[in-house]
Structure 1
Amino acid sequence: MLMRWRLLRTSKQILKNPLSKSLYTLHSSTNSPPEKTLKDHNMKTLFDFPSKYPFNITPSIAESALSHCPSDIIALSFFMWCARQPNYFHSPKSFDLMVPIISRLMDRLQCVRGVLMELESVGCCIKAQTFLILLRIYWRGRMYKLALEAFDEMGSFGYVPNTFARNMVIDILFKIGHVDVALKVFRNTQFPNFLTFNTVLCNLCKLNDLLGVQDILKVMVRDGFFPNNGSFSMVLNCFCKAGRLMESLQVLCLMITLGHCPSVTIWSILIDGFCRAGRVCIASQLLRKMVDSGCCPNVMTYTPLIKGLFGTQMLSQAYDLLDAMVSQGCMPDLVLYNVLIDCFCKVGRHDDAVDIFFSLCKRNLKPDSYTISSLLSTLCSSRKFTLLPELVRTMDESLDLVTCNSLLNVFCKAGLPSHAVEFYNNMIDRGFTPDRYSYAGLLNGLFRAGRIDDAIDVYNGIIVNNYGLDAHVHTVIFDGLIKVGKFYRAIKLFRKAVAENYCLDVVSYTVAIHGLFGCGRSVEACTLFGQLKERGLIPNTCTYNVMLFGLCKARDINAVRILLKDMFDSGIEMDCTSFNTIIGFLSRSYRVHSAYRLFIKMCDLGLKPSKTTYLLLVESLLRSGAIDDACILLKVYLEDTMFVRGVGSDLHDKVHLCTETP
């Protein structure tokens, strides 16, 4: 949205209202003229200098003067003066230099009118161009509220905003979310130009307003403004991302009809769009048409197609295309290598994925977080955890905190907790500031290594240095202790956390409740559940499931009824775990008919019973003599689930024995 200020100054679209001129003159005459000051004299001398000693001002001279000017208002006045010089146009860098200057002026003067009065006080005449320059500075500095204020002040001084000013206002209104107002300003623009349409088109594409894009494109072509390659790229990208492939082909036809030759970017967008939609065959045809038209594909063109071929299991075609790309001198970049690592992992070629990663340094490519993530997934799938230390050494320079946290997590999952602790120490030595995920990875590593006391010591040290510690870290220590059977120690740390008013969330309380049930303290668990709600925390489905499991294990049927009612009143729907827990409880309590009815309700809701639920229910039905119901239940299990030899054979044997009994 660039325009030459000299042309703007002489534009016939900016008209001075004669009535407002007389009012402005009357307003000026009512005030006594300001006294001549040293600042006025200096400004007059500065602006008279070129008339006495002519020289050609350049952007570098203007930028240097702006950078070293001690006064913000003089710098702004000088900026205005430069814009009025013949054949001089401010560079984008000059406008960038003005952004902090005008920001400091606004902090002091509070409003646009204050800036205008300050400019007048140093001898700068307020003209239409003054508003346009201010508007552009505000717009470039993202001071949108002030830009709209300058636009309004323009009218109060009797100037009619031209198309350039309206273009900026339209863009600002879109950016601050006032889409309807922006479209209204667009429709009321008397002399729209290409930039007007392009601004609206660009913003509607960002909003994914497909109908709006179509309408603006039609009006734009109808009024004789033809989109350029950049405009077409935005429109095609918008349609392709939304899966509107037929419309994207229509845009391509319009582009060719208007005499534009599709660029490599246009072809790449189309190929990517069809690959995303799973239409890989059509994408391959587009690639052939692209080559036939004389347009040479680049790596960005090949990448989505290779990924699409892998995704549709067309592996031989993917390998052939990759070979053809390399033979044509188009070498893969990091993005394509990332795609290949991910695709090789998904098709089970883990060795190839690992080989690609270790070859990156030879190709002078630096792995990014996506590369590391894909490779970690490969190592987890292939169980090649012995490569982890070598992986860390290879990407020594490309590690960031997110990658480090991922590695900590994988070390723990791989059963290498000592490596996790060692890697955490290396992180600290390299200057990384650990976050909650780093702390969680370290604590998990210590727990899995059996270093319980070290984990507690580390946790206490973390608390000392981080009072506002995230609830996730507290939860990790509670959960780790409970998993190794240290219930009382976990509860003690939890009580301390509550007393010290540490940050705890519903997950922290849920873990603590699980620990209390684990050591047989069901009354305390129920009390803690009540305290959870008193603190304003809302129990989730997992919390209720933990409570249900604990109460069912304690065989407190009355408490189970109360909890189920509370669950219903709170709007929490029962999930598979909830149903499985209640059905198991009823089966063990010899309430087989109630359990069976609940089982039927569970199936009607589309929830899948667990294998344990089937086993318990079949056993209960057999004990109660309901052999037919047990057989039906077994048949449903075998039809609706994959047959698991262990549980399935148990069920079948029990039914068979009972049916053979005379």
Structure 2
Amino acid sequence: MLSLRYCPNHNTFSAVLDSFCRMNAFRQVYQILGLMVGLGIELSVNVWTVLINKFCKVHRLDIATNLFYKMIRTGCSPNVFTYTALIKAFIESNMVNDALHLLNNMLSDGLDPDLVVHNVLIDCFSKAGMYEEAFLAFDGLAKQINIKPDLYVYTSLLRTIWRSERFDLLPKVVQDCRHIGPDLVLCNALINSCVKAGGHPDLAVAFYKRMIDKGFKPDKHSFAGLLSALCVAKRIDAAVTVYCGLVEKADAHIHTVITNGLIQAGQYHKAALYFRSVVDKEYPLDSVAYAVGIRAHLRGGRTLEANTLFDKMKDNGLEPNVQTFNMILSSLFKVKDRQTVKQLLKEMINSRIKLSDRNFFNLCNRNFFKDQCCFGICWLR
């Protein structure tokens, strides 16, 4: 086009600039910009914003900032999206004061932060460890009349609550989320947060029921959260009923969750019973599920069955982890099975499994060092 002396219009230049930006061909970007200035073609705010955003994403804040002030000098006023790109980049680069300065400039220009700006502030402040500032940004959004938090904002807020350990805010978040449209990922995150971190199992169960009433189709993460909540709330019969209703289609994670939940509730025999049933029916299990199942048997005093599960786990081609090896070894110390202890220690040496502090103490206390294999396991520590 240029060689034929055609003069590209504004849209053509914008398309070419966008293409060079996507290719990170910034030398060509400057050439195109120079050509546009030479031809007297005015750059729109959208073009400036695209350029600034691209340089921010490749961590060239120096160039992005120069473009920003060059934009202002040419008489083009930044919009909310222009400010948002720079504010996000400054916070992610730990240049918080510069970000706040830009935010004040935006407010001075009469531009009100939109939903995207608030979400960027919450997310970036949270990642920077500035939790109070993140909560203040959310409070500022909550006071807005024209805009309301969406699921992205609540997702960022939920991450902030986890990082700051402000789990006392979870009930309020659950209450505020009533106006949010259906989003299964956020709902599952709220349920699991209420159980694992917030200590609000009843709230998690109530939220699950509300999900169902609204027409949600729960997935395995929803069921896992519900099972955990029921076990923590000591509603064992309800948890077992839910589990029995989905056991045939459950994956290893669900079996792990119910077994672990029953253990945490002190229901060792029931946990061992249901896990043994899963093993007998050859449902899919992974090494984590076996580790939890073995712990259930050991907690219930079923050492022989635990060792049988340990052998079956290895026969199925699953590699026991450090914790599983040490659980079995500890149980063997208790029953004083010296010969099996020696065999297991040799296996741990071959697999380069380190002893737990407790098992190391038992090994020393019981004078096992006379055996050569024990020197090997001590060397691994």
**TM superposition score normalised by structure 1:** 0.48
Tell me the number of residue pairs that the alignment of Structure 1 and Structure 2 aligns: 360
Query: Is 1:393 matched with 2:175?
Result: yes
Matched with 1:460 is 244
What CA distance in whole angstroms lies between the structure 2 residues aligned with 1:428 and 1:421? 11
* Pairing 1:330–2:111 present: yes
Deviation, structure 1 residue 498: 2.7
Q: Aligned ranges for residues 201-240 of structure 1 at < 5 Å? A: 228-239=13-24
Change (3 A) 1:411 1:278: same
Q: Does 1:563 align with 2:347?
A: yes
Structure 1: how far apart are the matches of 2:15 and 2:244?
Answer: 57
Assess, with a 3 A threshold, how the Cα gap between structure 1 residues 279 and 230 changes in structure 2: closer, same or farther.
closer
Mapped contact 1:583–1:598 kept (Cα < 8 A): no
Query: Partners in 2 of 1:584 and 1:523 — Cα distance?
Result: 23
Larger Rg: 1 or 2?
Answer: 1
Q: CA RMSD in A?
A: 3.6
Structure 1 segments unaligned to the other structure (5+ residues): 1-193, 195-219, 240-246, 569-573, 603-662
CA contact (8 A) 1:579 1:598 kept: no
Q: Larger relative CO (CA 8 A, sep 6+): 1 or 2?
A: 2
Contact 1:583-1:595 within 8 A present in 2 as well: no
Amino acid at match of 1:372: Y
Pairing of 1:80-119 with structure 2 (within 5 A): none
Q: Whole-Å Cα distance in 1 between the matches of residues 366 and 66 of structure 2?
A: 66
Matched residue type, 1:230: A
CA distance in 1, matches of 2:137, 2:147: 18
User: Which of 545, 550, 572 lines up with 2:328 in the alignment?
Assistant: 550
SS at match of 2:107: helix
Which of 370, 382, 405 lines up with 2:188 in the alignment?
A: 405
* Distance of 2:246 and 2:148 partners within structure 1: 37
Name the counterpart of 1:518.
299
Pairwise CA distance, 1:290 = 2.2
- 538, 545, 548: which one pairs with 2:318? 538
* Partner SS, residue 554 of structure 1: helix
| Code of the aligned partner of 1:254 | Q
Query: Once the two structures are superposed, what CA deviation does each residue of 1:613-660 show, in whole Å capped at 9, x if it has no partner?
Result: xxxxxxxxxxxxxxxxxxxxxxxxxxxxxxxxxxxxxxxxxxxxxxxx
Whichever residue aligns with residue 156 of structure 2, its letter is S
Q: Provide the C-alpha distance between the structure 1 equivalents of 2:117 and 2:346, rounded to a whole number of angstroms.
A: 57
Aligned residue number for residue 607 of structure 1? none
| Alignment correspondent of 1:471 | 252
TM-score (norm 2): 0.80
Quick one: percent identity of the two aligned structures? 34
Q: Alpha carbons of 1:351 and 1:232: their partners in 2 closer, same or farther (altered >3 Å)?
A: closer
Q: Which amino acid in 1 is paired with 2:150?
A: P
Unaligned runs of 5+ in 2: 334-339
The change in CA–CA distance for 1:594 and 1:320 in structure 2 (over 3 A counts) is: farther
Q: Displacement, 1:338? A: 0.7
Counterpart position of 1:251: 28
Deviation track 1:327-378 (CA, whole Å, cap 9, x = no partner) reads 3243323222111112344313154044034235x2234512x211211123
CA deviation after TM superposition for structure 1 residue 509, in Å: 1.7
- Tell me the secondary structure at the aligned position of residue 395 of structure 1: helix
Distance verdict in 2 for CA 1:259–1:584, change over 3 Å: farther
Q: Write the mapping of 1:214-613 to structure 2, written as runs, cut at 5 A.
A: 228-239=13-24, 247-248=25-26, 250-259=27-36, 263-276=44-57, 278-345=59-126, 346-349=129-132, 350-359=134-143, 362-368=145-151, 370-398=152-180, 399-412=182-195, 413-463=197-247, 467-535=248-316, 537-539=317-319, 542=321, 544-555=322-333, 556-564=340-348, 567=351, 586-588=363-365, 591=369
Residues 434 and 305 of structure 1: is their aligned pair in 2 closer, same or farther, counting only changes over 3 Å? same
Q: Assess if the C-alpha contact under 8 Å between 1:549 and 1:581 holds in 2.
A: no
Residues 493, 287 of structure 1: alpha-carbon distance in 2 compared, 3 angstrom cutoff: same
8 Å contact 2:303–2:331 — kept in the other structure?
A: no
Contact persistence 1:344–1:352 (CA under 8 A): no
The residue aligned with 1:111 is none
What do the CA deviations read for 1:56-111 (whole angstroms, capped 9, x no partner)?
Answer: xxxxxxxxxxxxxxxxxxxxxxxxxxxxxxxxxxxxxxxxxxxxxxxxxxxxxxxx
Write the deviation string for residues 359-412 of structure 1: whole angstroms up to 9, x where unpaired: 35x2234512x2112111233345544443333333323142111111101111
Whether contact under 8 Å (1:551, 1:560) holds in the other structure is yes
